[in-house]
Amino acid sequence: MKRYFIHTFGCQMNVNDSLRMSEALAQIAYAPTPTPDNADLIILNTCAIREKAEDKMLSALGRYRPVKVSRGALIGVGGCVAQQEKDRLLKKVPYVDFVFGPDNIGKLPEIITRVSQERERVVETAFVDSEEYVFPRADPETSRGKVTEFVTVMKGCDNVCSFCVVPHTRGREVSRAFPDVLTEVADLARVGLREVTLIGQNVNSYRGGISFAQLLLRTAEVPGIERVRFTTSHPHDLSDELIDAFRTQPKIAPHFHLPVQCGSDRILKMMRRDYTVVQYLERLEKLRAARPGIAVTTDIIVGFPGETEEDFEMTMQLTEQVRYESQFSFIFSPRPKTGAALREKDWGSVPHEVKIARLERLQKVQRKICGEIAVSQVGLEVEVLVEGHSKYDAGKRFGRSPENRTVNFDGDAPAGAIVKVLVDRATPNHLMGKQLAVVQAPTVAPPASEALPPGLVPPGRFPLVEA
């Protein structure tokens, strides 16, 4: 049996795509390996949202080249950089054997066969027409023994923000029919999944036969599912109906990732974000009124072309005002074919050292807020969905609160159980405590590890993921 290694960069969509790649490779008798050193096939599932992610990909390719030389391993590049660069990537990196875009994951067995048997370098990056696109569906057996899983409900984005390359790498919005989504969720619940995260580039613009709010409510009604999450969202699609869903259905987890991008209305307009800061805050206020205590996270770009010190201070003020649970903040990097890249000289490029200094100031404030929120949880009892052993201490258990806070605790509850934990310590990144009681036992026992071939695991169990 040949072995494969997948290195995943970027968002939850890419993580989910890597799982689907694993299932496709299982069809042609490939099994996963935890390290690239003994792999016969190495795939980099790439992200193009930032220049840094591309640089990481090229660096990783360089590290994997010796495996190709010593073992004759095949090397492929998938994901958004593959979609963006197409055959140019084969010219740039001559030891890459194949390139494929997100719409072509289902063709992976065919691509591997062509590369292996016909000794040709392959590029498959054509978008599939919306009417013909078939969403890859998870094999529930590859998720058996897990507690939480991603379920794709849509792909692509129609917003065309001036900084974002996603419409060029993922295409236009395509929604998955809601019966198909619910069937997949039910199949996952039958093998023991307790939590699902509905994912897409802009999930709350979902149009798969019902509204996104209705999809969330129906997902929460699937027997065995105790928590429903979703990501990611655009503020202009935060509807009253979606807010009401948070009010009426407690299984919808009290966590909302709502990217604001900037605290300056002037910059938001240049970003092609069709809301003002006041409108954003008004929607957020309604959400927090509907679900008190909801954890709100966001994305922020620092150093967008034309950003002045005054613009940046507005972002700092917004961060202090909202008190985000966490931020994914990064400096602006021009992406190919985007409006901001084409007009950066006209708008005024922000010097790199200024970008870095501003980012450090912003992240310092956010770390302080994260620490204060974490400390406020000390002494409280929190409900934790157990996912397994703590990666920090094998003697402890690990899980997440409904707000998506990571919790490491002393206890013996099995994966899939929901427990009460008394928080006795906290850091800005996670909570620590002691198990008090099991609220719910797992619905399905995980498979015995000894039933697996030595050194092997079900597809997707050795993810190497980088932001």
Give the tokens for residue 355: 């970008």
Residues of the chain with CATH 3.40.50.12160: 3-124
User: How many CB atoms lie under 10 A from the CB of residue 158?
Assistant: 12
pTM over cut 0.75: yes
Residue 24 and residue 239: Cα distance in Å, rounded? 37
Residues of the chain with CATH 2.40.50.140: 378-440
Asked if residue 262 belongs to a known ligand binding site, the reply is: no
What lies within 8 Å, CB to CB, of 285 at 6+ separation is none
Q: Check whether 246 has a pLDDT greater than 60.
A: yes
Q: Is residue 184 within 8 Å of 192, Cβ to Cβ?
A: no
Q: Is the peptide bond before 232 cis (omega within 30 degrees of 0)?
A: yes
Kindly state the DSSP code that residue 165 receives in the 8-state scheme: -
Lowest-confidence region among 42-56, 67-81, 319-333, 424-438: 42-56
Strands 227-231 and 195-199: parallel
pLDDT in tens, 144-168: 889 999 999 999 899 889 999 888 8
Give the residue-averaged pLDDT of 114-135.
82
pLDDT in tens, 379-431: 999 999 999 999 888 889 999 999 999 999 999 999 999 999 999 999 999 99
CATH class, range 3-124? alpha beta
Residues of the chain with CATH 3.80.30.20: 140-375
Percent pLDDT > 70 in the chain is 94
Give the residue-averaged pLDDT of 130-145.
78
With H, G, I as helix, E, B as strand and everything else as coil, classify residue 43: strand
User: What topology does CATH give the domain 140-375?
Assistant: pyruvate-formate lyase- activating enzyme (3.80.30)
Give the tokens for residue 382: 């929190």
Asked if residue 370 belongs to a known ligand binding site, the reply is: no
Give the model's confidence band at 453: pLDDT under 50 very low, under 70 low, under 90 confident, else very high. Answer: very low
Residue 245 and residue 237: Cα distance in Å, rounded? 14
Q: Check whether 455 has a pLDDT greater than 70.
A: no
DSSP string, 95-156: T--EEE-GGGGGGHHHHHHHHHHH---EEE-PPPPTTT-------GGGGTT-SEEEEE-EE-
Give the model's confidence band at 130: pLDDT under 50 very low, under 70 low, under 90 confident, else very high. Answer: low
Q: Is residue 295 within 8 Å of 334, Cβ to Cβ?
A: no
Residue 397 and residue 391: Cα distance in Å, rounded? 9
User: What topology does CATH give the domain 378-440?
Assistant: OB fold (Dihydrolipoamide Acetyltransferase, E2P) (2.40.50)
pLDDT in tens, 174-220: 999 999 999 999 999 999 999 999 999 899 899 999 999 999 999 99
Give the model's confidence band at 459: pLDDT under 50 very low, under 70 low, under 90 confident, else very high. Answer: very low
Label residue 181 exposed, middle or buried (CB < 10 Å: 0-12, 13-18, 19+): buried
Q: Give the distance, in angstroms, between the CA of residue 181 and the centroid of all CA atoms in the same chain.
A: 18
Asked if residue 47 belongs to a known ligand binding site, the reply is: yes
Give the model's confidence band at 131: pLDDT under 50 very low, under 70 low, under 90 confident, else very high. Answer: low
Report pLDDT for 137.
Answer: 76
Percent pLDDT > 90 in the chain is 75
pLDDT in tens, 315-341: 999 999 999 999 999 999 998 889 999
CA atoms 102, 103, 105, 111: torsion sign: negative
Alpha helices, DSSP H, located in 138-294: 166-169, 178-190, 212-220, 240-248, 265-270, 277-290
